Structure 1
Amino acid sequence: MFRISLRLVSDSGDPDEVSLATDVVPEKTEKAGEMSPRTGNPYKFSQWTARIGPQRIAGSPDDAFHELASWGLPTAEAIRKLVAEGCWEATLMIVQEFRDPENVFEKGISMDPKIIEWLAASGAGADIDQYILYE
């Protein structure tokens, strides 16, 4: 099972700038200094998060990776510009849950060269969290 998103964080940036630069609708945004409705405290940093693929991906994450690549290199370059200006940090967040030791899709993650090219063009890193949920 996978969850994949692209997340940009900033000490003081405006998430609307990311949306305008990328023409991508985020799933979640928070702006530094604005009040959290959940805690009532101000957010300490800004974030812009776009989910890639379905909420939970059963099987291979390839379709989600292809969705990201379909955003195109101009979108990646727009993110690179935001990152280069020193205001934002971009990360492809991949969460993998291991539930079945016999499932071939739970043996690792492979990325098509187009995904690596897109990440390089955007200046984004990759953060992979893996959780083993069986004994």
Structure 2
Amino acid sequence: MSFRMYIRVVSDALMPVDISNLLGVDPDEAHAIGSRKRPEYPPRSHTSWIREVESPVPGARPEDFTPVLLSWGDDFATALRGLTGREAATVSLVIVQEIRDIDSSAEKGIFLGAGLLAWLARAGAAIDIDQYIHHD
């Protein structure tokens, strides 16, 4: 079972350094407008700024990530909302789920509690769930 979570900010106007300055936090990963994933690919048309939600325990489920994300505080959520409020960016919580055993009940379902949903609403963030099922 494998879950990964991160906050992603996407903008077609701001560069990663601008987003970092407005949020007061550096990203774990960022790609600027005009950069290329590979030399043969076209330049990116938008900035992508990512801050990982660190897994608190091995085999963590989405509800295990909640205290980590909430520890980032209301000021950070409000700063994220400031980006969306100016329509300079979109913000989302990305949840990546990899299912390796389709019969395992532990690998199914995603629970998001009221505290997390309130924080995301404060941040003006959407939820993006990517699911990958690995099977024979």
**One fold, TM greater than 0.5?**
yes
CA contact (8 A) 1:53 1:67 kept: yes
Matched residue type, 2:36: S
Say whether residues 1:36 and 2:60 are aligned partners.
no
1:93-104 correspondence to structure 2 within 5 Å: 93-104=94-105
Q: Mind listing any 5+ residue stretches in structure 1 that lack a counterpart? A: none
The range that moved more, 110-119 or 96-105, is 96-105
Say whether residues 1:86 and 2:117 are aligned partners.
no
The Cα of 1:81 is off from its aligned counterpart by: 0.7
Matched residue type, 1:36: R
Q: Which stretches of structure 1, 4 residues or more, deviate above 4 A after TM superposition?
A: none
Would you say how many aligned residue pairs link Structure 1 and Structure 2? 133
Write the distance in 1 (CA, Å) between the matches of 2:17 and 2:106.
36
Question: What secondary structure, in the 3-state scheme, does the structure 2 residue paired with 1:115 have?
Answer: helix
TM-score by length of 2: 0.85
Question: What secondary structure, in the 3-state scheme, does the structure 2 residue paired with 1:26 have?
Answer: coil
- Superposition CA RMSD, Å: 2.1
Structure 1 residue aligned with 2:20: 19
Write the distance in 2 (CA, Å) between the matches of 1:60 and 1:103.
13
Write the distance in 1 (CA, Å) between the matches of 2:10 and 2:33.
10
Structure 2 residue aligned with 1:66: 67
Per-residue CA deviations over 1:7-34 (Å, capped at 9, x if unaligned) read: 111112122222223233311112213x
Write the distance in 2 (CA, Å) between the matches of 1:11 and 1:109.
31
TM-score by length of 1: 0.86
Question: What secondary structure, in the 3-state scheme, does the structure 1 residue paired with 2:54 have?
Answer: coil
Say whether residues 1:123 and 2:124 are aligned partners.
yes
